[in-house]
Chain A
Amino acid sequence: MNNQQTSILILDDEPIVSKRLKPSLEKRGYEVETFTSSAAALKRTHERQFDIVITDLKMEGLDGMDFLTDVKEKSPSTEVIVITGFATMETAKESFQKGVFDFLAKPFKIGEISEVIKKAEQKLKQSS
């Protein structure tokens, strides 16, 4: 990771989530792309690499677990943050087994996810 803007991809099939997060994270200096379709997000991750990927789990079509698995396989250095409205211990465990950076249950406030993103950035900087 260099000194360029940290790039973040947000995938959540509920548009309101991206609508809330995007302006707030851009204000904090991040480069943000948002998607409501996992297929479109997957296509985008095949076109370019993101520093951080934030993804919901429960979605139509390709679900979040499959999506993050693909992201980590293609780009192991990308830090993945899972956000979910239907959290279970199993999904939390599975997420971490797949190498996600953090797991956030909804609802969460902007401050909480911002803290997690900052920690992910620190990790990226340390490993670069």
Chain B
Amino acid sequence: MRIVIALDTHSYSEAIVSEAAKLAANTWADITMLGVQPSSSGDMPDTDLEKRLRQYRKSFLSRFNEGDNPYGGVKGAGKFTSQNGGFLLTGDDKENEFRKKLHVKIRVGDATKEILAEAREQECDLIIIGCTKGLDCQWQGEIDLPRKIAQKADYSVLVIKERKTTDTISCCLDQDQVSQSSLEMINQMVTLHQAELKIVGLTDSLKAGGKEGVENKMAEILKYYADLELNPWIKLVRLEDLEEYVAQASRQGMIALWMGKKSLLGKIFSRDLVGKLVNTSQSSVMILR
């Protein structure tokens, strides 16, 4: 698994470093900690952002015991060196000495574009980003940036708005087009949080042979989990009630929405509605792709 963590200098970013470290401790994922500065005046990165990223790296690594750390230690301060128009933290340690990659980078330019570009370059499986509480959902002072990332990314995106205990993960799946990677991402989240899994299927009387067709597909999902010795709650929700259900579930725990290109949900939830959900949610929202 490869994860890009988008980080700015605000306190919510500090909180998501902790969340990302927990996920990394379980999955031993390759990690890129990414900061973005709007412009560069030379060979040096923004001082405040550089300082914060160093702190985040240290905080991330502090989650690991010496013997359990696949990313190497906190040897030396390292230095940011220019790379492809941005900056990469390099140290004395040789990357190949460690089992997994922990890159700390600063890109220069428009934040949305640069975060998406980094995710693309890394061929990542997940982007993690925090934001302010409330409706405007700011990142680095830019309103709605996490919404834009969630809307535009080709990869799964986890928006952590407020750290809460995740007892339940409500996962709205399109039974027609469930990607293997989305199921695998959910499984890792369930394992991480030891959370109860709720699979929410749609009953759309106009598609897929009506309720019977939907139930057949839900049976396939149940079999998938039964084979894995998991027993999720299964819930069927009428199409017209789904938005309300999602809004409610997002207040109770993590909500995951499968929003691939072929997803029926992608048609039901317009891109604007995805953003609305991200903005109004009180906890974490994961957009699965």
Contact = CB atoms under 8 A, between A and B. Distances in A.
Interface of A: 13-14, 16-17, 20, 58, 60, 85-89, 92-93, 96, 102-109, 111-112
Contacts of B123: 109, 111-112
A17 B123 CA distance: 18
B62 interface: no
Contacts of A112: 1-2, 30, 123
5 nearest CB pairs, A to B:
A105-B27, A107-B181, A106-B184, A107-B184, A105-B1
Most buried by B among A13, A109, A111: A109
A49 B115 CA distance: 44
A102 to B, nearest CB: 7
Nearest to A96: B99
Contact of A107 (B1, B68, B70, B191): B1
Interface in B62-107: 68, 70, 99
B30 A88 contact: no
B26 interface: yes
Given A87-B188, A105-B188, A107-B180, A93 B27 contact: no
Contacts of A87: 26-28, 188, 191
A108 B191 contact: no
Contact of B25 (A14, A20, A89): A89
Interface of B is mostly: helix
Given A16-B180, A86-B191, A112-B2, A105 B29 contact: yes
B227 interface: yes
Given A58-B228, A108-B125, A112-B123, A92 B28 contact: yes
Contact of B188 (A16, A102, A106): A106
B191 A109 contact: no
A87 B24 CA distance: 10
B176 to A, nearest CB: 16
Contacts of B138: none
A106 B180 CA distance: 10
A20 B187 CA distance: 19
A86 B187 contact: yes
A89 B184 contact: no
A105 B228 contact: no
Interface string B171-197: 000000000111011011001000000
B244 to A, nearest CB: 30
Nearest to A107: B181
B26 A89 contact: yes
B125 A103 contact: no
A78 B189 CA distance: 31
Contacts of A105: 1, 26-29, 188
